Amino acid sequence: MYIATMQELKPYSFFDLQNEFNASEEELKNILKSLSLMNIVKKLSKDVSKVELEELLETDSLEKLNTVLEGNIYVFKYVGMLVIGNVCLLIYPKYAVSYFNDSINNFQKFKQLISVIRKYQSKEQKIGFSSQVDVDNFNLLSIALELIYSYYNHGLYSNDKQIIEQNGCGEILWEKTINESTAYFSNGLPMYLDTFAVNQENNEQDYFRRLHAFILSEVSKKLKDILCILDIETINISSEKREHFGNSEYILYRLNQEISSQFVTLKQNILNLLKKYIEEDSGKDSSTKISFVGTNSFNLVWEDVCSEVMDDCMNKSIKELGLSYSKNPKQSALISDVIAKPKWKHNNSGNVHVANKALIPDIVTIKGNKLSIYDAKYYKIKLDDKGVDKQPGVGDITKQYLYELAYKDFAKENKLVIDSNAFLMPTDGREEKKIGTVSIDIFYGLGDIQLHDIDVILKPCEEMYEIYLEK
């Protein structure tokens, strides 16, 4: 299998992709059409506005793209792994600067990324690894990884069978014992020298257990090269062939019957994954099949990483933290409830209606007597002595000031110091860097109210991911 390393939002020409996929022009057009429908690839042409290009493309100079824009350019709005035919694309996040060297280190960065995405998606209770990709597509890679991880955590599907033994050590079947054994009396009380007992024994020949083992072995064989990249041990626990289980219609019939009678959630999940696998259109040309594991919303992953690592308190109760707030004295009030909701007043009636939602910061931390407010931003910012590029917008900056204003009274009531107000952005380095601040002058004419400049902090991703995966 051919392995290609690529980057999110980096511009690629049609010719670049043709070389990577080793495909004819027509084949590549079909692949790109499918990826576009899956919201994984976006095509840009010279008709696209300069503003859209500047916002989307991770390149230092648009002038460099002039020759490319005579045709079309393509960007991957995706982080993760794509398998198309015999080609495997490893797509790194837009902030990565050293991803080309990852193969030398046995793809350690990429393995960590997949683990982080997997943890996020499991927390969000998304089925499979393909969340946010809206497409009706058989995803072999996603299903295979779900099955393999489930197997390593829980083992093979099992259906216990009852075995009745004479003088066994299980639960005694008194009705059978009384009816079929000789009773001996002692002091008027019946005694049974021989009893019947029931034991639960794992049914190794159960149809679904065997099917589970067969499919695990088959997908491991199909995806051997991919599993090697991800450091996942292949599974070879069945020597059976598909015809041993009947044709696809019969297998699906048996699976549907078992699903309808199975009430254990874990077992239902396994059965549904086996069903998805069997439902694959085996007649489809393998060169056009697309499998994927990853996300086209890595910004949400970054937000969750920052929230976990920074010990966000937003969903903790004020009382739980040993604090109070006179403006919201409810016992169940959360730190997020400190910010009041908008009120809408009808002029004629004077009725006031409270909105359902309020401003909600990404992260609020309370440690000792210090309160900090953070916003996790998935931006590849460039801030230096020459200028600033790819930075958060005015709305994002304004909200950070409003968050600080909203928590001022709460902090004062609890003798807390607002220690920091900052944007947290990813960096490929190993050290945290505070590269600057952002401010808006109108927020410094509020009388005695003193607000912080908003810090711009680059957080080292590998270290953040390590902590996130340990939690």
Question: pLDDT tens digits, residue range 363-408?
Answer: 999 999 999 999 999 999 999 999 998 899 999 999 999 999 999 9
The total number of residues written for the chain in this structure: 471
Q: What is the pTM of this model?
A: 0.81
Tokens encoding 368: 């000792």
Cα distance between residue 169 and residue 157, in whole Å: 25
Distance from C-alpha of 406 to C-alpha of 341, rounded to nearest angstrom: 11
pLDDT at 286 exceeding the cut of 60: no
> Can you point out the beta strands (E) in 270-324?
290-295
- C-beta atoms surrounding 411 within 10 Å: 19
Q: Predicted confidence band at 430 (pLDDT cuts at 50, 70, 90)?
A: confident
Average pLDDT of the chain is 86
**Strand 454-460 to 433-438 pairing:** antiparallel
Coil, helix or strand at residue 336: helix
* pLDDT number for residue 190: 83
pLDDT confidence bin for 61, thresholds 50/70/90: very low
Please report the pLDDT score of residue 174 as a whole number.
Answer: 78
Q: Which helix (H) or strand (E) holds 302?
A: helix 298-309
pLDDT, residue 55, reads 57
The pLDDT value given to residue 57: 62
Residue 4, helix vs strand vs coil: strand
Q: How far is CA 298 from CA 82, 177, 220, 301, 376, in A?
A: 15, 64, 27, 5, 12
Residues 224-232: what's their mean pLDDT?
89
Q: Average of pLDDT values for 164-187?
A: 77
What is the rounded CA–CA span in Å between residue 14 and residue 1?
A: 21
Sheet of 160-166, strand order: 160-166, 196-202, 171-172
**Which residue is it, tokens 């075995």?**
163
Query: Residue 295: its pLDDT value, please?
Result: 93
Read off the pLDDT band of 192 (50, 70, 90): confident
Q: How many CB atoms lie within 10 A of CB 283?
A: 5
Q: What does residue 311 show for φ and ψ, rounded to 5 degrees?
A: 60, 60
